[in-house]
Amino acid sequence: MPPLNADRAVLIAAREVLLRDPRATMAAVAEEAGMGVAGLYRRYANKQALLRAVAADNYRRYIAFAEAALSDTDDPWHAFTGFLSQVLDDGLPRLTLALRGEVDLDQGLLDLDKLAVDTTNRLLRGARGSGILRPDVTRADIVVILEQIGRIDVGDDVRSASLRRRYLSLVCDGLRAEAASRRLPGPPPHEAELIGRWSGEISSVS
């Protein structure tokens, strides 16, 4: 197997294990990946290095969805809501919540975070510019909305994903400018509230 595919398999295994238990051991990740613990330590010097790799992978998946949506210039609203749906289907907010407080952000992750924020802001500008997204919704609102819906879990993965799509559909209807019965009350979340709460990692879903 070429090295890249093996790396990918390890990251996928780590992601699955960490979603179930963010405090899982390197041994548990190695077992899920079907490799020895020593082999896992050859790739990642310690658990923090593995967590950072999983977090970076989460950012890259998020950014890839956002960039694909940005390239759909025909229908910015469809692109925007499709992006939210992909992010939820891929479990990105769930992983971010699971890793909350567990990852020490290094410069590489901070750079990815900035890129994720910038890409999201470009998407929001497109959706606002098309006149369909209500103007009083901010990027921080999207972070909180994805978290709210991402948490839905009825114990069965297929049903949970189906329910997440149901409530995303409801919220997307509420996000449209023509649905706004009044300006949303109260200020949106401040960056400090998001960071204070999630120790920075939440921005992987921002």
Selected range binding its own copies among 12-20, 38-46, 58-66, 179-187, rule: CB under 8 A = 179-187
Output the CA–CA distances (angstroms, integers) from residue 14 to 30, 104, 200, 204, in the order listed: 8, 17, 21, 17
Closer residue to its own copies in complex, CB, 38/182:
182
Name which of 115 and 180 has its Cβ closer to its own copies: 180
| 157 phi and psi angles, rounded to 5 deg | -60, -40
Does 188 participate in binding its own copies (rule CB under 8 A)? yes
5 binds its own copies (CB under 8 A): no
**Segment lying near its own copies (by CB under 8 A), choices 20-28, 42-50, 118-126, 137-145:** 137-145
Residue 23 as a binder of its own copies (CB under 8 A): the answer is: no
Q: Residues 6 or more apart from 191 whose CB is under 8 A from it?
A: 140
Query: Residue 73, interface with its own copies (CB under 8 A)?
Result: no
Contact code string over 138-157 relative to its own copies, x by CB under 8 A: ---x--xx--xx-xxxxxx-
Residue 22: count of CB within 10 angstroms of its CB: 16
CA separation for the pair 166, 163 (Å, rounded): 5
Q: Give least dist CB 172 to its own copies, A.
A: 7
> What is the sign, positive or negative, of the torsion defined by CA atoms of 191, 192, 197, 201?
positive
Q: Which two tokens stand for residue 180?
A: 């706004």
The least CB distance from residue 25 to its own copies, in Å, is 26
- The number of residues that bind its own copies (CB under 8 A) is 41
Distances (CA, A) of 9 to 16, 17, 42, 103, 159: 11, 12, 15, 21, 26
Q: Tell me if 176 contacts its own copies by CB under 8 A.
A: yes
What is each CA distance from 79 to 75, 134, 180, in whole angstroms? 6, 16, 20
Among the residue ranges 5-13, 67-75, 117-125, 167-175, the one whose residues contact its own copies (CB under 8 A): 167-175
CA distance 88 to 140: 16
With helix as H, strand as E and coil as C, how does 140-165 read? Answer: HHHHHHHHHHHCCCCCCHHHHHHHHH
Nearer to its own copies, 85 or 121 (CB): 85
100 binds its own copies (CB under 8 A): no
Residues binding its own copies (CB under 8 A): 137, 141, 144-145, 148-149, 151-156, 159, 162-163, 165-167, 169-176, 178-182, 184-189, 193-194, 196-197
